Chains A and B, each alone.
Chain A
Amino acid sequence: MSLTLAPTAAETAYQGFALPHRRQEDWRWTDLRQLLDQAYPPTNGTKASAAEIDRLIATDALAPFARARLVFVDGAFDKARSKLPATGAITLEHLTHGAPPSSARGAYDDPLANLNDRFCRESLRLTVKAGTAEDAPIALVFVSTGHEAVTTCTRAQIIVEKGASATLLETHIGGAGAYVASSLIEASIGDDARLDRVKIAEDGQAAIHLASFHVKLGTQSSLNDFTLTQGAKATRQQTFATFTGQHSNIKVAGAYLLNGKQHADTKITVDHAVPHCTSRELFKCVMDDQARGIFQGKVVVRKDAQKTDGKQSSNALLLSETAEFDAKPELEIFADDVVCGHGATSGSLNDDYLFYLRARGIPEDEAKSLLIAAFASEAFDEVAHEAVREALGELTQGWLINRKPA
């Protein structure tokens, strides 16, 4: 189908790579042929000044919590600005000769991963050694200066070996200029292992954020994943999670704080390939002005995956008449002894709540802010790291303060 379409400027810059567009079912709300409105040639490395880069890095809300911090600037690993993990539990490899797909990548055809494969020049591989518990979070900081209208491709591979546990913090920040940030994270969680991941998507206001997260889980393992989507003009982020061992657990939570004409589309696929696994998805999406949020959650239960327990829910809070939310929950169930469910709600602020707060003397704007923060915080509750959870609350407060009419 895409063959019949004349290549766009971006597709030409991508050497003929065909961008997904709205006539493809998964992409009906996010048409990359339209969104990538200029060439955005792929590059690696920055032309921004040191001061500009430092100024952007300083805005990383998760900086205080990480023991090791790995910084990328415009697609290139910036060792000087990074703080490498002390040797021991974690090994870090910097791969500079292309970036081979990891085994975490499922059989899914993921155009965003394909694009990243094609143009990513370097990547990091982090291995958390078997049996070690890394209590202090490891941070990945992806900075895009927006100095030029380019595409930067970054990727990291996380391997949590048998019996190990780790917390990964991931921040995406950027300057005001237009750019495309392509991010790929591939994670393998071994048997009896655990990975907590907290991602903050705060790219610049003219940015297009394209991200994929591929993760495989072994036996009796767990993934606790959270994403706050707040930045960028347009975001498409995808999670592909596959259970390969029994008695494992996935939680994927997220919150949107969108305003203006922001667009955010999250697509999550959880593949119950084996029996006795549990998955939970919870997204709390706040949209103001003409912002548009989309949540596509898909739970696949394979033929043998009996005793699967899979639930997903998305709740949208629309703060203006022109804000929009679309939810597309999908269940593909081939086993018969399973508990699966989904729920999607969408509505405005509850008038009864608002009146109760105001009747106690809380002014209208503040009452609204309290209720918006309360709504989003339900998703933050899934984050285990207390200080990080509080930082998410503060980011929400910052967003609310900007929202208030001066």
Chain B
Amino acid sequence: MLEIKNLHASIEDENRAILNGINLTVNPGEVHAIMGPNGSGKSTLSYILSGREGYDVTDGEVLYKGQDLLEMSPDERAAKGVFLAFQYPIEIPGVATMQFLKVALNSQRKARGEGELSTPDFMRLVKEKSAALNISQEMLKRPVNVGFSGGEKKRAEILQMAVLEPSLCILDETDSGLDIDALKLVAEGVNKLRSPDRAMIVITHYQRLLDYIVPDQVHVLSKGRIVKSGGKELALELERNGYAEYVGDAA
């Protein structure tokens, strides 16, 4: 599904290297967790995968379903199934949530050569998915994320994911800011999407999320490099001992 090979990247105009040779292969059906200290480059990696501007890829490549991902525009990537649940979802005043969701879904369908969803079918779909995530109709009437609490924004990201049904889901600290009940709802939402032809990259600081979304592999990112990979027990070990051991390694 995703092959990241020796990816080096820096912030545009700053010449500051953030990713220093990332290698990561994610196969269909797998869930990979990425953990690592603040500032180690986790969000930067997720932005580069989803096509945000402002980075220079100085070396390496990224293949998605065998194609050069970095060549594609952000909307092209999304239509091909890449989805990033943002660490900090932004508020977009004036753009109605339902209209946004509908345009997004139908743009993706159109790009894939599928027919557009009718308004009633679309309404039904959103109603069903939002109920499961405990998102009220009132929230859906507001502009995108406007006035949502921190936790509501995270749930709204998962709603978008549930509606768009991507193939590669990248969750950037979706658990941060969620209360205990919301965490379970979100994890359920994510687990519902787990399937043999879908893959997930779950970025998190907390082992707790991984109790709900059990990963196949856990990676430690430090200073823009994966310094340790292991099974789900690696997360437990990190919880106990912190990153000291690995941060030292990477230096």
Q: A353-B92, A374-B143 are in contact. Are A360 and B53 (CB under 8 A)?
A: no
Tell me whether A361 and B52 are in contact (CB under 8 A): no
- The interface stretch among B58-66, B78-86, B130-138 is B78-86
Residue-wise, chain A 364-378 has the 8 Å CB interface mask toward B (1 for contact) of 101100110111011
Question: Which segment, of B16-24, B103-111, B226-234, faces chain A?
Answer: B103-111
Does A86 make an interface contact (CB < 8 A)? Answer: no
Contact across chains for A358 and B94 when beta carbons are under 8 A apart: no
Contact B51–A370 (Cβ < 8 Å):
no
Q: Tell me if B191 is interfacial: C-beta within 8 Å of chain A.
A: no
CA distance A374 to B94 in the complex (A): 4
In angstroms, Cα B89 to Cα A364, docked, is 19
- A358 touches which one: B78, B92, B95, B160 (CB < 8 A)? B78
Cα A374 to Cα B51 in complex, Å, equals 24
Q: Which A residues are in CB contact (< 8 Å) with B111? A: 361, 363
Q: Which residue of A lies closest to B96 (CB)?
A: A374
**A363-B90 in contact given A357-B100, A370-B95, A370-B100 (Cβ < 8 Å):** no
A361 close to B79 (CB less than 8 A): yes
Tell whether, in the assembled complex, residue B95 and residue A360 are in contact, meaning their CB atoms are under 8 Å apart.
no
Chain B residue nearest to A351 (CB atoms) is B53
Using CB atoms, name the residue of chain B closest to A376: B94
The answer, yes or no, to whether B36 is at the interface (CB within 8 Å) is no
Give, as a whole number of angstroms, the nearest-CB distance from B5 to chain A: 23
> Any chain B CB within 8 A of the CB of A355?
yes
Q: How far is the CB of B10 from chain A (nearest CB, A)?
A: 19
Q: How many residues of A contact B (CB 8 A)?
A: 22
Q: Judging by beta carbons under 8 Å apart, are B84 and A363 in contact?
A: no
User: Contact: A364 with B73, CB < 8 Å?
Assistant: yes
The verdict on B126 contacting chain A, using a C-beta distance below 8 Å, is no
Query: How far apart are B46's CB and chain A's nearest CB, in angstroms?
Result: 10
B100 CB contact (under 8 Å) in A355, A360, A364: A360
Question: Is B221 close to A, CB under 8 A?
Answer: no
| Residues of the B chain whose Cβ atoms lie less than 8 Å from the Cβ of A361 | 75, 78-79, 104-105, 107-108, 111, 164
Please tell me which one of the listed residues A353, A358, A362, A367 contacts residue B51 in the complex, with CB atoms under 8 A apart.
A358
A355 B94 Cβ-Cβ under 8 A: no
A321 at the interface (CB under 8 A from B): no
User: In the docked arrangement, what's the CA distance between A301 and B105, Å?
Assistant: 51
- Nearest residue (CB) in A for B89 is A356
By a CB distance below 8 angstroms, the chain B residues around A358 are 51, 73-75, 78
> Contacting A364 at CB < 8 Å: which of B75, B77, B90?
B75
Option from A356, A357, A363, A375 in Cβ contact (under 8 Å) with B86: A356
Q: Does chain B have a CB within 8 A of A359? A: yes
Q: Is the CB of A375 within 8 A of B94?
A: yes
Docked complex Cα distance between A95 and B94 (Å): 44
Q: How far is the CA of A359 from the CA of B50 in the complex (A)?
A: 7
- Are B108 and A374 touching (Cβ within 8 A)? no
Partner of A362, one of B50, B86, B89, B103: B103
A357 close to B104 (CB less than 8 A): yes
Q: A residues within 8 A CB of B52?
A: 355, 359
A371–B95 contact, CB under 8 A?
yes
How long is the Cα–Cα vector from A366 to B95 in the complex, in angstroms? 12
Residue A352 at the chain B interface, CB threshold 8 Å: yes
Question: Inside 8 A of B51's CB, which chain A residues have their CB?
Answer: 355, 358-359
**Counting CB contacts under 8 A, is B93 at the interface?**
yes
Which residues in A have their C-beta under 8 angstroms from that of B94? Answer: 371, 373-375, 377-378
Which of B92, B143, B164: most chain A Cβ within 10 A? B92
CB-based contact A378/B93 at 8 Å? yes
| Cα A351 to Cα B51 with chains together (Å) | 13
Query: How far is A363 from B79 in the complex, measured between Cα atoms in Å?
Result: 10
Q: Enumerate chain B residues within 8 angstroms of A353, measured Cβ to Cβ.
A: 90, 92, 95
Q: How far is the CA of A377 from the CA of B95 in the complex (A)?
A: 9
- Specify which of A363, A366, A371, A377 lies most central, judged by the most chain B CB atoms within 10 Å of its CB: A363
Instruction: Enumerate chain A residues within 8 angstroms of B75, measured Cβ to Cβ.
Output: 358-359, 361-364, 367
Judge whether B93 and A359 touch: CB under 8 Å: no
Inter-chain CA distance A364–B100, complex, in Å, is 14
The reply to whether B90 and A356 form a contact with Cβ atoms under 8 Å apart is yes
CA distance A378 to B94 in the complex (A): 7
Q: Smallest Cβ distance from A1 to chain B, in angstroms?
A: 44
- Interchain nearest-CB distance for B158 vs A (Å): 13
What 0/1 readout, one digit per residue, does chain B (138-149) give for beta carbons within 8 Å of chain A? 000001100000
Partner of A356, one of B92, B99, B105: B92
Q: Are B103 and A370 in contact (CB under 8 A)?
A: yes
10 further interface pairs, Cβ-Cβ under 8 Å (given A360-B164, A361-B107): A356-B90, A358-B75, A359-B50, A359-B74, A359-B77, A359-B78, A360-B104, A364-B75, A374-B92, A374-B143
Q: Can you list 27 A-B pairs, Cβ within 8 angstroms, ordered by A?
A: A351-B53, A353-B90, A356-B89, A356-B92, A356-B144, A358-B73, A358-B74, A359-B75, A359-B77, A360-B108, A360-B160, A361-B78, A361-B79, A361-B104, A361-B164, A362-B104, A363-B75, A363-B107, A364-B73, A370-B99, A371-B92, A371-B94, A373-B94, A374-B92, A374-B94, A374-B143, A378-B94
Question: A interface vs B, CB < 8 Å?
Answer: 351-353, 355-364, 366-367, 370-371, 373-375, 377-378
**Which residue numbers of B lie inside 8 Å of A, CB to CB?**
50-53, 73-75, 77-79, 83-84, 86, 89-90, 92-95, 99-100, 103-105, 107-108, 111, 143-144, 160, 164
